[in-house]
Amino acid sequence: MKSRITILLLGLVQLFSTWESCMAQEGDYLLYKDPNKPINARIKDLMSRMTLSEKIGQMTQLERKNMTTDIMKNYGIGSLLSGGGSVPKPEATAREWVDMVNEFQRGALSSRLGIPMIYGIDAVHGHNNVYKATIFPHNIGLGATRDPELVKRIGVATALEVRATGIPYAFAPCIAVCRDPRWGRCYESYSEDPQIVKQMTEIIPGLQGDLPTNIVGIPYVGGKEKVVACAKHFVGDGGTIKGINENNTVSDWHTLLSIHMPAYYHSIIKGVSTIMVSYSSLNGVKMHANHDLVTNFLKGTLNFRGFVISDWEGIDRITSPPHSNYTHSVLAGVQAGIDMIMVPLNYTEFIDTLTSLVKNNFIPMTRIDDAVRRILRVKFTLGLFENPLADYKLVKHVGSQAHRELAREAVRKSLVLLKNGANANDPMLPLPKKASRILVAGSHANNLGYQCGGWTITWQGVEGNNVTIGTTILDAITASVDSNTEVVYSESPTTEFLKSNNFSYSIVVVGELPYAETAGDSMNLTITKGGIDTMSNVCGNTKCVVVLISGRPLVVQPYLSNIDALVAAWLPGSEGQGVADVLFGDYEFRGKLSRTWFKNVNQLPMNVGDKNYDPLYPYGFGLTTTKVQDQVASR
């Protein structure tokens, strides 16, 4: 018995010796790694241990394409992102996304202090870069629903799908107030009305989680199924002259506060963790260099406590041409109050430049410390230090049936009926499911990429049906009608074809081709040429309903007299079945215009409340239909 006690004591001595040795190697107790300590204490402890290079590393966000685990470790990089279309491999699975993110994270964790990086991605209408993810309607359609609770549920679903791929940070929502549809980003805006945009900030608690009752206005992320949100683009991006992307917004202080700022107040109140700065200028001052608005107003007056992030190469564009004086750009951007810089490619140039500016006293350490403190607060709030690596537990949520049903509901509620027959006594919609033969025509009827729009799989969007998983409008129509109804599809039918077939009615689906940002700027806002020809030909020879797929109002007045019914379907996303649900009366039309529909482009900009307001369809317009109770399609 005595010998056993001796062996046990020797074992305990050896165990204590091993623990002592480990402590000697790791140094003293690391308070910042203790989840039981207050966040402010953890931040203070960690920052006291950080060198200048480690702090600047935290301020650096890089694109994943050229990154390695060694770069993550050696430079202590604070964040990575996927730009539009930047994926581990084509059609990558959720597991492959998790593996990629974790590999980079292990590089960050192997740095001296083991500070985890935060990975971000543009999940702007669902997890839109990811193959098989649910693609929700773009924001312009969601604005037409007038349903903040629906948008919150979309935030919940999007967060789940983003987290399922190992990513904890979404660059969403865009809370721009688009005041001119010529802007190529207008579909990213919920409305021309700041009140609608303000209401739709309800997506933020969907993405991040509801703030606890005892917390107001500080960054918050409620667990492993939630993501860090990003309100963008601060501020005035939707008000540029002629809607030109990245252009100048001319505004007095009252107009800025009443139109472009309200959604930011509400985003901050709801605990948004990050805010992205706009490429645009305000009264000639680049927002990326606007100290008065970023530091004094956003951080000071509004007391925003999360971190401010630049847009892609946003500081480069402080100068014209971009990157022509990079030292000035870094100085102006960081001094303006930007905390994390989306570099995203030439990291050594940025790090060396910022290091030199600090060492030569052009940028004070107090500014660096403010940036790092904010970044660390979000990381601690997110729980990254306790759970830096993702697992596969959520992969089943990517493109789940529940999320597709939610997207289908959103499509139904977003559709706006602009015309329904010559008068109320002779409506064309809802369409009968039982008919001898119907025609489906148009460039957008059988094209999943077109109905999803930009920011889908790639930055500018894609065409065709092999891009991701979803239901085209043609497939939805075919699935909805009676089994005895013959559905004939012809993208561009000839007059002879139309006259030789006895179609009961036709559905023409036309619109814009996909685009994003500057590539979408348009001074004429027209339906594609082939679409106009098809619409004119079909509607001139059959009874027709036109379904318009677009990111904004387009010129339609010249064609209205030929059209029996007109539906604004916006950019509905992957669930085309939602369009057929309403066309055939399983659900009623309920969407209302979140934007003024102009008569001609010479009227632009024109918004509700303007003195000379003379629209084709006013803001808030939308006809209704009655749900058809007895229509059940045979399958």
Only one residue has tokens 């992102």, namely 81
Only one residue has tokens 């977003």, namely 414
CA Rg value for the chain? 27
Separation CA 172–CA 230 (nearest Å): 5
Helix (H) or strand (E) holding 285: strand 285-286
Which one from 161, 237, 517, 581 is the annotated catalytic residue?
Answer: 517
Q: Please state whether beta strands 285-286 and 281-282 pair in parallel, antiparallel, or not at all (unpaired).
A: antiparallel
* Tokens representing residue 163 in the block: 């987290």
Separation CA 186–CA 552 (nearest Å): 7
Separation CA 220–CA 494 (nearest Å): 58
Annotated catalytic, 70?
Answer: no
* Closest by Cα among 530, 527, 499 to 601: 527
Which one from 311, 313, 339, 475 is the annotated catalytic residue?
Answer: 311
C-beta separation of 468 from 478 below 8 A: no
- Helix pair angle (326-336, 365-382), 10° resolution: 60
Is residue 413 packed enough to be buried (19+ CB in 10 Å), middle (13-18) or exposed (0-12)? Answer: buried
* Tokens representing residue 335 in the block: 């001094």
Q: Is the dihedral of CA 512, 513, 518, 519 positive or negative?
A: negative
C-alpha dihedral over 483, 488, 491, 493, to 10 degrees? -160
Annotated catalytic, 311?
Answer: yes
Terminal Cα distance for the chain, rounded: 80
Separation CA 172–CA 125 (nearest Å): 9
* Closest by Cα among 18, 54, 46, 3 to 368: 54
Please give the distance of CA 212 from its chain centroid, rounded to a whole number: 25
With vertex at residue 597, the alpha carbon angle to CA 180 and CA 575, rounded to the nearest 5 degrees, is 95
Separation CA 535–CA 526 (nearest Å): 13
Is residue 185 packed enough to be buried (19+ CB in 10 Å), middle (13-18) or exposed (0-12)? Answer: buried
Reduced to 3 states, what is the DSSP secondary structure of residue 86? coil
* Closest by Cα among 472, 390, 627, 327 to 398: 390
Active site residues: 311, 517
